[in-house]
Structure 1
Amino acid sequence: MPHGSNLLLGRLALATFARVVPHLSVVELSAAEVLAEPHRHIQRVYFPHSGIISCVVELADGGMIETGMIGNDGVFGASQALDDKVSLNLVAVQIAGRASVMAADRLRTLAGELPDFKALLTKYEQFFVAQVQQTAACNAVHDIEARTCKWLSRMHDLVGADLLMTQEFFAGMMGVRRTSVTTVAGALQAAGLISYSRGRLHVIDIEQIRKRACECDDVVRSHYQQMFPPAEADASRHRCI
């Protein structure tokens, strides 16, 4: 799969893209694989082609909650690599997939040599911070069904209509009890919006899911489109390298 399958890399000017590609390799991302642990330096930077990477806050009681989601429209580890910072949270693969990877020190060097590459990484970091802030507000004030529909909409944007996950895992990402997830999933299934069986979830009606989602779904999507206009992407796509 070409490196341009990552939409962020695909936005680079062709000359810059050609400079970056020799330093990338493609790896498989396995579900539940840990990519970074709290207070550890980042060794590799990941540009997903498929799948989902989650940033997770672990709580003292053993619980956890997802604060940020990264798919083929983003990158994990770039901001830490640029400043040689540690990861402050657990980062793990939520949905298996593939990614282009680069050594953190190599990315830091290239960013110093290629201003447009560094600018793109910085823009994505701005978007990601906005996503985390919106998620914090969402978790504080919106009900579980609205949050679930927002999460399903974002997942649909990144990986499509079919998801592999257990209710336990989903509850952990949402920071709620499994019984709450069971109730919401049952209601959505009864309404004909999703089907769920043995860890396989299929989104049947994404438009109705989005109507039930909280405002945060549109806000996060709008943030990304403002930072990365679609026309800009169309002008610079190069999937063949």
Structure 2
Amino acid sequence: MPQASNFLLRRLAPASLARVAPHLSLVDLVAAEVLAEPHQRIERVYFPHSGIISCIVELSDGAAIETGMVGDDGVLGASQALDDKVSLNLVTVQIAGRASVMPSEKLRLLAAELPDFKALLIRYEQFFLAQVQQTAACNAVHDIDARTCKWLSRMHDLAGPDLLLTQELFARMMGVRRTSVTTVAGALQAAGLISYSRGRLHIIDIEQIRKRACECDDAVRSHFRRMFEELETATHKVRCA
């Protein structure tokens, strides 16, 4: 069952998943594909099984920076579907993969009927907001080396050690000049932590990468853990009542 590859769908009670699954279809996420433009209505909700979806803020001078990632740990477009809202930023596929998709209107109806489904969606939205807020603080305070290691750690969590990543994309996601990426990547490669050639990046030593990352790496992971530990505790209490 492909749904088992997505953390949220895997957490659904069997009866709820049986209601949700028939309305999901499997699609490929193509690298650089645009899933939503700013102020565009979200018509489909994505539950990734692999790959990474990026939310990006673009500025008038052409600069851009990634504010959040969605991988097989979450969902894209659920909050907009629940509240009939539009996307506020550009949403693209950063790393190719696959996802289960559902029409936004159908998700809204199912969430109204299935409390555990709605609870999962709301919890993930809370986590995603925490991730965006942490990223804003990180970009304002921490240096490029620590930020890069934090970013690579998150990428590793969602997509594993092998990444197709050009320097242009790397710089765009980090909101820095390409020369800065060249310098940081060169230092990490010289230290034996990564190998990087012709757009292919391999993370050799994730533990050392995480040691060099800023505190935001642990903070984001902690936010996720707490959100879903609390949900599972609350669900257990309801089932035992």
- Residue deviations 1:93-114, cap 9 Å, x none? 0000000000000000101111
- Are 2:44 and 1:44 equivalent residues in the alignment? yes
Corresponding residue number in structure 1 for 2:92: 92
Partners in 2 of 1:231 and 1:115 — Cα distance? 12
- Are 2:204 and 1:207 equivalent residues in the alignment? no
- Residue deviations 1:51-105, cap 9 Å, x none? 0000000011111100000000000000000010000000000000000000000
Corresponding residue number in structure 1 for 2:102: 102
Corresponding residue number in structure 1 for 2:23: 23
Over aligned residue pairs, what C-alpha RMSD do you find?
Answer: 1.7
SS at 1:31 equivalent:
coil
Partners in 2 of 1:5 and 1:186 — Cα distance? 34
- Residue deviations 1:173-226, cap 9 Å, x none? 100000000000000000000000000000000000000000000000000001
Partners in 1 of 2:113 and 2:224 — Cα distance? 26
- Are 2:123 and 1:123 equivalent residues in the alignment? yes
Long gaps (5+) in structure 1: 237-241
Corresponding residue number in structure 2 for 1:150: 150
Structure with the larger RCO, 1 or 2 (CA within 8 Å, 6+ apart): 1
TM-score (norm 1): 0.95
Partners in 2 of 1:159 and 1:149 — Cα distance? 15
CA deviation after TM superposition for structure 1 residue 116, in Å: 1.1
SS at 1:152 equivalent:
helix
Partners in 2 of 1:152 and 1:39 — Cα distance? 29
CA deviation after TM superposition for structure 1 residue 229, in Å: 2.9
Long gaps (5+) in structure 2: 237-241
AA in 2 matched with 1:207? E
Partners in 2 of 1:79 and 1:230 — Cα distance? 20
AA in 2 matched with 1:149? C
Partners in 1 of 2:83 and 2:17 — Cα distance? 22
CA deviation after TM superposition for structure 1 residue 232, in Å: 4.7
Partners in 1 of 2:4 and 2:230 — Cα distance? 15
Corresponding residue number in structure 1 for 2:66: 66
- Are 2:168 and 1:168 equivalent residues in the alignment? yes
Corresponding residue number in structure 1 for 2:196: 196
Aligned length: 235
- Are 2:151 and 1:140 equivalent residues in the alignment? no
- Are 2:4 and 1:13 equivalent residues in the alignment? no
Corresponding residue number in structure 2 for 1:32: 32
CA deviation after TM superposition for structure 1 residue 231, in Å: 11
AA in 1 matched with 2:52? I
